[in-house]
Every structure is written in structure tokens, then in C-alpha cells.
Chains A and B, each alone.
Chain A
Amino acid sequence: MSNPLRPALVLLIALAALTGLAYPLAMTGIAGAVFPAQAAGSLIERDGKVVGSSLIGQSFTRERYFQGRPSATSAVDPADATKTVPSPYNAANSSGSNLGPTSAALAERVKADLASRRAENPGEPVPVDLVTTSGSGLDPDVSPEAALFQVPRVAKARNLSEDRVRALVEGQTRGRLLGILGEPRVNVLALNLALDEAGSQ
């Protein structure tokens, strides 16, 4: 039986150089040349400043913007580095809530969110995605129902007609790929950018 040490060492180093350096670095070079926008993170600029990524949701709290889903991401507590504090849509620390189906904390959170959503638009059923957190905490989308649910509030805050706002939502609604894959959705950041655009005209 020959000593396996030499082939093990040589192959480990050679394949490390190939798969761990040459491959990712070459792909970085090629991807940057062929798909520069995507490779850099699909960033959106407005007036020369980066306002976010078209793929990453961001936190909207004002009445005049459409809001995304609740987010369970957190950040290190500035006052105490051993603790974390809620920090919705923290794109440097993706995370879900990881609350299970019989969690009392989940039931209470959903109950509270349901109550405030019902107060916002009484009589309408609350879409499920508006009161549940996403897997990443960075979900860029809401369902078309969840966007339409917020139309009266946004229209009122912006002094626009509901029809006008609803038309914007419909313009930003994306269907399934080829009618088959995925789910219908509305990108919240894109919708809000379109809304700002409409408001400034």
C-alpha cells in the first residue's frame, strides 16, 4: 500500500487553488463583465445616490408608503454588545422569526398585527403575508392582495385618488413565470419609487 500522504497533500492544495481561488475569482471577473448590475447587487440609484437594491426589501413605516411584510431581523444592541435588538430589514443580518406553529409569542404578534391592519382598512380580509414574517426578513415583495389592501391608506396620505394608486399597484404587479412558476407579487420598493414619481408630477 503506497503512502497516501503525498497525493493527499498535493491534491488538497491543487484543488483548493482551482476550486477555492481560480474558480470564484474567474467567475467574479466574468460575471462582472457580462452582468455588471446583477453582480454588484442590483442596486437602484436615484439622483446619484444608492437608495437600495431591487431584490432587497426595506423598512417602510410612514403612511404615505406601501409597507412590506413584518421582518424578524435584528441587530447588535448599541448599548450592550451581548444583546440584540429588533432591526427590521437589516440586510447585513438576514433571519426569520423561527417561531413555531404553537408559539405563544407568534400568536400574540399576529393578533396584534391583525388588529392594527383591521383598523386601517375595516371590513377587508387581511392578507396572510401582511402579518407573517418572511424567511429572510428581507422579502422585497408582497402579494397583490396585500398591496391593494393598503391603497386607501396611501391614497389618503398622498391626496391621490384611490384609482390612481390602484393603477400604480397593477402596473407593478408581476405574475408567475410563464404562468407556472412562483407566485404573483408586487415589489414594494419599486412600487414606492413609482409612487414618489407620480406624486412629484
Chain B
Amino acid sequence: MTLNGWFQIALFCAVIVALARPLGGYMTRVYTGERTFLSPVLAPVERGLYRVAGIHGGQEQSWLAYALALLTFHVLGFLALYGLLRFQAVLPFNPDGQSAVAPDLAFDTSASFVTNTNWQSYGGETTMSYLTQMLGLTHQNFLSAATGIAVAVALVRGFSRASAKTVGSFWVDLTRTTLYVLLPLCTVYTLFLVSQGIPQTLGGAVEATTLEGATQTLAVGPVASQVAIKMLGTNGGGFFNANAAHPFENPTALSNFVQMVSIFAIGAAMTNVFGRMVGDERQGWAILAAMGVLFLAGTAVVYWAESAGSPVLDGLGLTGGNMEGKEVRFGIVASALFAAVTTAASCGAVNAMHDSFTALGGMIPMINMQLGEIIVGGVGAGLYGILVFVIVTIFVAGLMVGRTPEYLGKKIEGREVKMAMLAILCLPLMMLGFTALATVVAAGLAGPANAGPHGFSEILYAFTSAAANNGSAFGGLTANTSFYNTTLGLGMLFGRFFVIVPALAIAGSLAAKKTVPASAGTFPTHGGLFVGLLVGVILIVGGLTFFPALALGPIVEHLAGGLGQTFAAGG
């Protein structure tokens, strides 16, 4: 660990905090329907879309209608993407002649991209046509991100309204997010990325003759436009197999820094949107503070573990930390920070191979996801995820003092707590249930590339990543099989919609309640005590649920590695 390393981490955090308020202010105007500086251009487009779609802009929906609209939209989006994948061979924009995607991989990929997971059982440059990358994948990158934000905004309206029957309109939230937030940011961002060296071309792969006379085929494509939304929308699905480690997806130290910032930017700003919409920005800062505590703790462990290196390789006389699977231009600190950011935020892009991280360095990304992707989290998903935990925290606090719990003037009662627990319990069921299944059936055991505890970690990481809608991987796992494509696809769908629907139910139930004025007995939720309690609840719930599984994977691997033990695959 170096002073420069810590400075890079501190600089990153400072930029995120500095961006939260201005971006949050802009987004709040978007979701409260106020005019923004882009309205003169975009408002006519928006009105035109509503007219064709038969939506009356002002017409709001109950939580159930909101949820039904969302689900209908996703069923259609899923089918469209599935069809595109199956027929890409005969469609245009396919200069490298990619063939049709197999049914199980098409199912997995469709589930992956509509749920904002962007798990990839395939290598992009060897599988997907340019049309699929743009019309299928880039498109879903936008929509799944907009959906996450829409759900979060609906939940915030639940807190900010009183005695209301509606939580907003899904169509309006989806459209406004895409038009006013994501597209303008991505347009500027794409040009920056191209300036750094990310290709943006419809030409096919380039043949080069190397200095030694060999032929090198350079895969290119419309990369930058996809990378922009992949990061801003915390999607994470790479254009290329190596994702943000590929020099064409992340060419420079600056592109790397900006990519990390763009992963967190909208998620952090959402806490400010929350604060503004409930009329007390401190409430948003308290939530961002709880996220920050968990983030910094995790980042410090990854940085320390990767700097310390692997005892097995150090035993051979290697010094300088763990560089296996890392790029020289990023080095250890920018790789460790990226790993913490991408898994805290449900992004899943990687600039280094997590599979080759040290045992503890690879455990933190898993924990970040297992806690429910609430450390900043996916765009929108992080906010509704942590608000679910807030409800449980407030409930626990209420039990301690024997008072009906309140949050922001809303009484938290049985229905909210039940829905919150449903959302919280869905993730471990998917993560641990499918992991258990994969470790007892032959088709599951055929997956890992590494032997011993690391092989188990590869399986656990995969289902953790899928259910948390992250999409990063311990890439050694051979996941493009009908067993993994099916189980991972199901994990992603359940992990997404069995959190979204309860979150919307909470929104509806809260919006209908009256607001109770704060009294002397009200627990203040903008101070250090609340932040501490929230962090405690998150860690206790996550720790109790996942410690046994982690003990079988990364923890035992750490201990074995410390003794110099190695595991041979196929032995």
C-alpha cells in the first residue's frame, strides 16, 4: 500500500460526494416534472412519445398498476431481445459473421440484460453481432437502468406523499429517465471515451501484421457508446470478453477513473434525490454516509489483500503484490478500487480478473453483493434496496424502545416490514439455494476451472452475482452450459423482480398513510446513531446469512494459501 494509492481512493470519494448534490438537484427536477435546461429540446419529443403511446402525461398509477406496467414492459423487452439473439445471423450490421445464439444462452443473456445484471456467459467479440450489441444490448442497458431509477423514485414518492392513492407513472418515469438523464450524459461521455481511445466504428475487425510478421486480428466495433451506458447505468456488460480490462474498453488511467466515478455517480445522486423529495437533504446524506462506511471498509480490505499478494507466489520469490489478472496501467490500487466499486454498485464491469484476486481480496466483492447491492448500489436499485433495510432498522429500533416505529413521519407497520423481509430474503434464497444445488449435481460441478475451495468460490460468486444483478464473475467458471444458463437466468429474474414488486408494494402502502408530525419521542434519522444502527443491521443480516458459505470458500482458501497449499485441477 502506498500514499499515492490512498490518495487515489480519497480523490475518488471526494469526486463522488461533490457530484451527488448537483446531479441530485437536476434529477429531482426531472422527477417532479419541473422544467430543466434540456426541456426546450426534449419536451416536444416526450409529448410526442406519450401521444403515440396513448399515455396522458399527468395520469398517475397505483402501485399495482405501476408494477403491472413495469412487468408488461419487461416481458415484451425480454421477448424482443431473445428474438434478436436467435436471428442475429440473418440481420444486418454483422460484419464478422456471428452465428445465431443458442437457446439456453439467449435465455440467460436476455434475463441478464433486462434485469440490469449483464452477466455474460459468452465473450462479446466472438458471439454478438454489432446489431445485437446496439439494438439488443445497448438498448436494454438504458431501459434496465431507467427501470431501477423509476422504482426508486416511486418508493421515494411513497415517503414524500400523504394519503395518496398513486405513486407516479411508470411510463413517465421511464421516459424521462431515458430522455433527460441517461441519453444526454451518455452522449457527452461517449465522446470523452473515444478521445481516450475507445473505438466507435461499424467496420469489422482489423488485420494487422505485427513487427515479428504474425497476423493479429483486432476486434473493434461501436464500443464507446455501449461502454458509456454500461457504466452510467451500472449495467456492466462488456463489449469484449475481458470487459474494462480490455484496452479498447478502458485505455487510460483517466478513462479508468472516470469510469469508476460514472458507476457511482447516479447511485450516489439518488440519495440526494431522496433527501430533496422528502424535504430534508440530511436524510439523504445519512444514507450516503452509511453506504460510505461500508464502502471504505471493503475497499481498504481489498487494497490491503492485493498489495500483500498471494503467499503461494510470494513463496516462490515474487514481490510487488498480486498482479495476476491485472493491467499495468491500473496497477494494484486502481484494480482494487474498481473491484470494490463495481460490486458495491451492482455494475459488474471489471478492470481486473476477480478470479485471480487473493482469497480475501476476492471475498469482499462477494460480500458487497451479498449485502444486497445497497452500498450505493445499482442505479435506483441501490436506493430502494437500502430503504428496505432502513425499514427493518427502524422496526428494530422501535422494538428496542417499545414504540411504533416511524420514518419520515410514516408509521412503519406490519405490512411494510413483511414486504421488506420478503425482499431481503429473496436474495440469499437464490444465492445459497442455487449454489447448494450446483455443488451436488454433476452439471454444476463441471463448471469450476479451479480446484479446491476456490472452485466452490467460483460457483458461489456466480449465483451471488446473478441474484444481486451484478454481473461480474469469477471468470474461470464455464457458465455457458444449459445448467448454468438456466439457473443463473432464473436467479437474475427472481433477484430483480422479487425485490422490485415488494418495494413497490411498500411504496403504495406508505403513500396511502397519513404523515405523523415529529414529536419528542421520534427517533432522528439523520444522525450518527441512525447511521450506525443501519450499518449494524446490514452487517448482522448479511453476516449471519453468508458467513457459513464464505467460510467454505474464500476463508478456508486464505488459510490454506497461508500454509502454502495449492490445488491441482482435474486431480
Contact = CB atoms under 8 A, between A and B. Distances in A.
A104 B566 CA distance: 5
A11 B241 contact: no
A2 to B, nearest CB: 8
A136 B242 contact: yes
A52 to B, nearest CB: 5
B139 A101 contact: no
A131 interface: yes
Given A6-B53, A7-B171, A8-B76, A31 B450 contact: no
Given A23-B187, A28-B200, A102-B453, A93 B326 contact: no
B39 interface: no
B240 A94 contact: yes
A182 B256 contact: yes
Contact of A110 (B174, B182, B195, B318): B318
Interface stretch (B151-159, B277-285, B327-335, B414-422): B327-335
B457 interface: yes
A139 to B, nearest CB: 5
Interface string B225-267: 1100100000000001110011110011110110000000000
A82 interface: no
Interface in A117-136: 125-129, 131-136
A24 B208 contact: no
A173 to B, nearest CB: 12
A4 B171 CA distance: 9
B199 A41 contact: yes
Contact of B328 (A5, A6, A129): A129
Contacts of B240: 94, 136
Contacts of A127: 320
Given A14-B52, A196-B211, A19 B139 contact: yes
A65 B210 CA distance: 12
Nearest to A53: B218
Contacts of B348: none
B200 A58 contact: no
A68 to B, nearest CB: 9
A25 B131 CA distance: 11
Interface size class of A (residues with CB under 8 A): 35 or more
Contacts of B196: 38
A32 B194 CA distance: 9
A93 B183 CA distance: 30
Interface stretch (A140-148, A151-159, A163-171): A140-148
B22 interface: no
A27 interface: yes
Interface in B116-142: 123, 125-126, 134-136, 138-139, 141-142
B247 A128 contact: no
B358 A27 contact: no
B557 interface: yes
Given A60-B212, A93-B123, A101-B561, A136 B355 contact: no
Interface of B: 4, 7-8, 11, 49, 52-55, 62, 64-65, 68-69, 72-73, 76-77, 80, 123, 125-126, 134-136, 138-139, 141-143, 171, 174-175, 178, 182-183, 186-187, 190-191, 194-203, 205-212, 214, 216-220, 222, 224-226, 229, 240-242, 245-248, 251-254, 256-257, 310, 312-313, 316-331, 334-335, 350-353, 355-359, 362, 449-454, 457-458, 474-476, 557, 560-561, 565-569
Given A92-B125, A101-B312, A106-B324, 6 more contacts: A35-B194, A40-B201, A98-B353, A100-B359, A101-B322, A102-B561
7 contacts: A7-B171, A24-B225, A65-B211, A93-B219, A94-B125, A110-B316, A114-B316
